[in-house]
Amino acid sequence: MTEVVHTPRVFSGIQPSGGLTLGNYLGAIKRFVSMQDSGVETIYCMVDMHAITVWQDPADLRRATRELCAGYIAAGLDPAKSTLFNQSQVSAHAELGWIFSCVARMGWLNRMTQFKDKAGKNRENASVGLFSYPALMAADILVYHATHVPVGEDQKQHIELTRDIAAKFNHDYGVDFFPITEPVIEGEATRVMSLRDGSKKMSKSDPSDKSRINMTDGADAIAQKIRKAKSDADGLPSDADGLKGRTEATNLVNIYAALADMSVDQVLADVGGKQFSEFKPMLADLAVAKLSPISTEMARLMQTPDEIDKILRSGADKARAIADPILAQTLDIVGMVR
Ligand code: AMP
Ligand code: TRP
């Protein structure tokens, strides 16, 4: 069999459930923008069908989808360069998702830590969709034959599952059709932690608003949350080794580095020896300088939701033009009569 070489194509998605956090920005969106600007083909989705694996109020879901699109654009994604759309407008995702539900094994899905975290103790009451979610995520990626997926560290396991699904499909049908996708998990903030508890991921679903910086927070809220963020009593070390075992200190330095586009060592070369009382205001100023233009632009874009909907519709048209032929070929491979 001749090996198919897939041209580089980037796909990623974020759930429109609740607002965007600094974790989403540094772990995902900021890197979506740099990949777009590197000239490779980029497709970025608002995965609304994933969002409803947990109940969403319909009006909130609509608003969160538009706000996520506004966030993408305000952060630097350009609808003329990247394909931006919401998942439910491209039905090929759901159709390929079903086929992949028949490829993925129960045992594989049983190992997914995100399901265990999200379902919590009451697993019997979790939706079936929450359990089978990774098969849909694999379809999101593979229906575009995407080769690279920028995500935060927490999504690594799902990308590995995507690779397993592609390999099993190719093997079971004797084809070399789906690419084995690479996760792109890089930068200084692949896992931004809660500002209140350095052992927990910063998340839009954390009950405490003080644990996270929201992309819509104003300058005062950002400064206050950083001032109150958990740190430790020691001063800042002058190199990364000195951060070992200091989870909260590490988190704040990582955030600074990612916002400033510097390495952790470069940051520490500048601020080593300072106390947190001095470093936190520097971090707050930097965060406000980087985030407030984005939140201002998001608010402006949200005033014309029709414009956002237009962008999503035309993005969906572009997405369908890629996804539909790949789905059709998949159906042929599987043996569906058309
Ligand atoms: P979600 O909000 O769960 O849909 O996540 C969307 C994207 O943001 C995924 O690529 C996540 O890995 C990334 N992400 C979410 N929270 C964080 C965090 N605290 N640190 C780094 N990346 C994150
Ligand atoms: N599972 C991702 C999350 O919870 C969201 C997602 C859905 C995704 N489909 C995707 C990310 C495809 C990358 C590629 O954050």
* 212-259 tens-digit pLDDT: 999 999 999 999 999 999 999 999 999 999 999 999 999 999 999 999
- Contacts for 231 with CB less than 8 Å, ≥ 6 apart: 248, 249, 252, 276, 280
pTM of the model: 0.96
Query: Any idea which residue has 């952790």 for tokens?
Result: 264
Cα–Cα dist 280/251, whole Å: 12
Residue pair 328/97 in contact by the 8 Å Cβ criterion:
no
* Count of positions (residues) in the chain: 338
**310 a catalytic residue:** no
Is residue 292 exposed (0-12), middle (13-18) or buried (19+ Cβ within 10 Å)? middle
Residue pair 73/79 in contact by the 8 Å Cβ criterion:
yes
Segment (H or E) for 249: helix 247-260
Residue 172 CA to ligand 1 center (angstroms) comes to 32
Q: Is the pLDDT of residue 38 over 80?
A: yes
Mean pLDDT, rounded, of the chain:
96
24 lines ligand 1 (CB under 6 A): yes
For the sheet with 148-150, list strands across it. Answer: 82-86, 41-46, 9-14, 148-150, 182-184
Lowest-confidence range among 29-33, 204-208, 269-273?
204-208
Six-digit token string for 31: 């890197």
Cα–Cα dist 263/253, whole Å: 10
pLDDT given at position 4:
76
Segment (H or E) for 164: helix 156-172
What DSSP designation does 79 have? T
Residues 72-117 have pLDDT tens digits of 999 999 999 999 999 999 999 999 999 999 999 999 999 999 999 9
Cα–Cα dist 89/122, whole Å: 32
- Contacts for 250 with CB less than 8 Å, ≥ 6 apart: 198, 243
Q: Is the pLDDT of residue 43 over 60?
A: yes
Nearest atom, ligand 1, residue 154 CA: 12
Average pLDDT over residues 301-305: 98
Angle at 171 between CA 169 and CA 172, to 5 degrees: 65
Q: Whose alpha carbon is nearest atom 15 of ligand 2?
A: 14
Q: Is the pLDDT of residue 296 over 90?
A: yes
Residues 46-82 have pLDDT tens digits of 999 999 999 999 999 999 999 999 999 999 999 999 9
Helices 276-301 and 58-74: crossing angle, nearest 10°? 110
Cα–Cα dist 182/187, whole Å: 16
pLDDT given at position 2:
56
29 lines ligand 1 (CB under 6 A): no
Residue 318 CA to ligand 1 center (angstroms) comes to 25
- Contacts for 128 with CB less than 8 Å, ≥ 6 apart: none
Residue pair 141/162 in contact by the 8 Å Cβ criterion:
yes
Residue 152 CA to ligand 1 center (angstroms) comes to 5
How many helices (H) and strands (E) the chain has is answered by: 14, 5
152 lines ligand 1 (CB under 6 A): yes
Tell which one of 151, 153, 181 to mutate to probe ligand 2, the residue whose CB is within 8 A of the most ligand atoms: 151
pLDDT given at position 18:
85
Q: Is the pLDDT of residue 205 over 90?
A: no
Distance of CA 36 to the CA centre of its chain: 15
Residue pair 50/136 in contact by the 8 Å Cβ criterion:
yes
